Amino acid sequence: MKINTESIRDVLLIVFGAALIGFGFNLFLISHQLLSGGLSGVSMLVGYMTQWNIGWLYFMLNVPLFIWGWFAIGKRYIYLSGVSVAATVLFMQITPEMRINGDPIIAGVFGGILVGIGTGLSFRAGGSTGGFDIVGSIVTRRHDFPLCIFLFCLNGVVVLMLGLLLKNWDLALYSMMSMFVTGKAIDIIHIRQIKITAFIITSRKKELLEKLLRFQRGVTVIRTQGAFTEKEYDMLMTVTTRFELQELKKTIMHTDPKAFVNIVETAGVMGLFRRD
């Protein structure tokens, strides 16, 4: 991946988000034996049962998903997600697992807020926090249903296992509350995955079209004319997802900074919409 100022900014944003996640894990969730959502929750559950290092468990469980995602999604997304996971594990190793409060409800709320903000920052930079996010991205490309429902089902199974294995349903319910708070915090920082349609009016059709087709999304070329100037332009129309929107916007800005872009939310898609 080409290194530039924007890439460095994205990495720094992800590292800052990873610090918040690491603090949320060790200072609030793990210290009260609560669970986070996703593969980190699986790592916590295994760690509680075996006393293994939760951070290294989290890293090792993500490795096969990174390999899968590298071929199924794209290199930049996986690269940034890998930075997030590696930085999170690092902060988990240097942050002591200690209770800074005695109430698990408060711990769940504040832990959820920190994890949600950190995750949202990773999403805004164009990556993820690994784990179920990668699985969800791959699955929802092949099957047309909301990512949030898929992740909710996976997280529900993890919480259920916590209640059954530790025989403590209070911890399971506190964990569900924390995941809910995390989701709300993510919503504030980053809009959930929905389909969007971008209408791009450009005078650099050839260069922009070449780069847009790398997203493995269809692009329709429409000849247009400005009503005021009466000049002719090309309009490129493409349907994509929120996960790819940031990368799409960067591509357009780098290729044709003068392009006029109208981005609208898409209620539904019929016909040939490529999801793989």
Q: What is the pLDDT of residues 166-208, one digit of tens each?
A: 888 998 899 999 988 988 888 777 654 567 888 998 888 888 8
Q: Is the dihedral of CA 108, 109, 110, 114 positive or negative?
A: positive
Residue 142 is predicted with a pLDDT of 59
Q: What gap in Å lies between CA 131 and CA 13, rounded to an integer?
A: 19
Last residue of a domain, one of 163, 189, 215: 189
Same domain, yes or no: 151 and 214: no
Same domain, yes or no: 20 and 149: yes
pLDDT tens profile 52-80: 999 999 999 999 988 888 887 778 888 88
Same domain, yes or no: 116 and 239: no
Q: What gap in Å lies between CA 173 and CA 153, rounded to an integer?
A: 15
Looking at residues 149-176, what average pLDDT do you find?
83
Inside any domain, residue 9: yes
Dihedrals φ, ψ of 105, to 5°?
-65, -50
The whole-angstrom distance between residue 5's C-alpha and the CA centroid of its chain comes to 22
Q: What gap in Å lies between CA 69 and CA 64, rounded to an integer?
A: 9
Inside any domain, residue 60: yes
Domain at 246, CATH number: 3.30.70.120
Same domain, yes or no: 49 and 159: yes
Last residue of a domain, one of 141, 172, 189: 189
Same domain, yes or no: 210 and 146: no
Domain that holds residue 79: 5-189
Inside any domain, residue 270: no
Number of domains in the chain: 2
- Residue showing tokens 């539904």: 268
Q: Is the pLDDT of residue 145 over 70?
A: no
Q: Which of 211, 222, 204, 210 is nearest to 248 (CA)?
A: 211
Last residue of a domain, one of 168, 189, 210: 189
Same domain, yes or no: 87 and 216: no
Helix (H) or strand (E) holding 196: strand 195-202
Same domain, yes or no: 167 and 110: yes
* The token pair that represents 153 in the structure block: 């089902």
Same domain, yes or no: 34 and 135: yes
Model confidence, pTM: 0.69
- Residue showing tokens 């019929």: 270
The whole-angstrom distance between residue 51's C-alpha and the CA centroid of its chain comes to 29
Inside any domain, residue 258: yes
Collapsed DSSP state (helix, strand, coil) of residue 62: helix
Determine contact, residues 172/104, Cβ cutoff 8 Å. Answer: no
Inside any domain, residue 69: yes
Inside any domain, residue 214: yes
